[in-house]
Structure formats: structure tokens, C-alpha cells
Amino acid sequence: MRIKESQRFKKRIIVSIFILIGIYFFGSLGYMIIEDMTFLDSFFMTTITITTVGYGVVQELSPTGTVFTVFLIIIGTATAAYVLINLTDFILTEFLLVRIEKRRKIKMISKLENHYIICGLGRVGLEIANELSKEKVDFIIIDKGEEPIEIAQQNDWLFIKGDASNDGTLKVLKTRSAISLSWQKTEYSLN
């Protein structure tokens, strides 16, 4: 789910930037046609209009140019605000909230006692996780795949992204009395 949100944010930002570029192109072209300005002057006028700097006009505007400028101010500032809001939303969500969520999960994992460790969230691991979740039994999932981690996130299950056969990954748990449950061939193995 987090991956889909991230992709959605990136798409919104890219679309916003393309819209802003389109407005710059539209504004510059409009000043070039309506007021017979050079490209540099029309680009400058578009910039000070969209950003509402109020620096001053390059040349006196005709009535058509004035109406065009008002239209450009309304459309340009709204688009610029939309781009800024999307960027701020992306930064807050991706960097701040994700870090807070990671700290919370680490804290929850470190407090667990007498819990199960599900090594791999394949077909069987998913069934085990669903059963343990229904019974409100504490467990942690260890998997290195993107899809299993996304499933764990969607279900709000504790997880560690890593290789369960690696001792370093298991040491991250810092468990005191965990019961490890893994699927080997066609039987459960309690260690």
C-alpha cells in the first residue's frame, strides 16, 4: 500500500510540474502574440505574473494583454500553489511519517515476548499469519520480497524486511523468548 501511495504522489508531482511548464509556455506564447514581446521579455512577464512578485511590466499592456495577465495570474498562482502543496505533502508523508512509523514498529517489536516468527509470507505463511491475527497472537514476519512486505503493511502486521536465513536479520529482533515457526517441506517446524 505504501508503494502505491508513493507512486501516486510521484505521479501527482510530475503531472503538476508538467501543468506548470504548460502554463509557462502558454503565458510566454500569449505575451509574444498579444504584446509582440521577445521570448525573454514574455518569459519574464510570465514569471512575475505567476509568482505575483509585482516587479513591474516590461512594457505598457494593451487591454487584451491586461485581461490575459489577469487570467494568467488566476491560473498560474493556483497551479503554483497546487505544485507546492503536492511537494510539501510528498515530503511530509515520505520522509517524516515513514520514519515515525518505522520507529513505532521497532519499539513494538522490541517489546514483544513469547511471539511467533513467520519466516516467509508465501501461501502457507500467509495462512499462518491470518490465523494468528484472528487469534490475536503476537507474531513477526520476516521476508525479503516487496509483495509480502506490502501485504504485511496492508494488514498492519509487524515485519522485518530481510533474509530469515541470515543470523544478522534474526539478531535485529532482540527477542528474549520467541518461538520460531517456519514452513519446511510439508510440516511445521517449531524451534
Hey, where are the domains in the chain?
2-105, 112-190
Is the sign of the CA dihedral 33, 39, 45, 51 positive or negative? positive
Nearest in space to 18 (alpha carbons), one of 61, 77, 79: 79
pLDDT in tens, 30-48: 999 999 999 999 999 998 8
DSSP state of 114: S
Tell which CATH architecture fits domain 112-190. Answer: 3-Layer(aba) Sandwich (3.40)
Tell which CATH architecture fits domain 2-105. Answer: Orthogonal Bundle (1.10)
Give the per-residue pLDDT at 180. Answer: 40
Looking at per-residue pLDDT, the higher value among 2 and 190 belongs to 2
Q: How far apart are the C-alpha atoms of 179 and 159, rounded to whole Å?
A: 15
Q: Say yes or no: do domains 2-105 and 112-190 share a fold.
A: no
Nearest in space to 60 (alpha carbons), one of 43, 78, 35, 80: 35
CA 85 to chain CA centroid, Å, is 14
